[in-house]
Amino acid sequence: MQAVALALTALVALVHVGVVVLETALWDTPRGRAVFRMSREQAAATKVLAANQGLYNGFLVAALVLGLLGPEEHRAAFSVFGLGCVLVAGVFGAATVSPRILLVQTVPAALALGAWALS
């Protein structure tokens, strides 16, 4: 079950690498605006806030990468911490921004946490 937990953790990390890129580099591009369903004006007005949010998502990626590549005796702890943060952020984002965040962020994190609990 640990292999499943590591694979799901890697999936969540990859999703968040994509989110970091979208929020820090592509926010006001056509791709970024389409993903986050914003007008050009909304993207311009929120670009700095999005970059800050992207930085925080980068910290989540760091915790997950430590869970994947760090010392074996600490992998579960880093993974569970990072996934727990992702899960809470996903629930908050779904409640305040868009319910689709549950599918992209919360469900994969919950599945990975479940796999860690069973490993």
Residue 21 backbone zone (phi > 0: left; psi -120 to 50: alpha; other: beta)? alpha
Domain range spanning residue 99?
2-118
Structure tokens at 87: 């899960």
pLDDT of residue 93: 95
Sequence-ordered alpha helix ranges (H) in 27-106: 30-35, 40-69, 75-96, 100-101
pLDDT of residue 111: 98
What 3-state class would DSSP assign to 26? coil
Question: Would you say residue 1 has pLDDT above 90?
Answer: no
Domain total in the chain: 1
Query: pLDDT for 27-79, tens place per residue?
Result: 999 999 999 999 999 999 999 999 999 999 999 999 999 999 999 999 999 99
pLDDT of residue 22: 98
Q: Is the entire prediction scored with pTM above 0.85?
A: yes
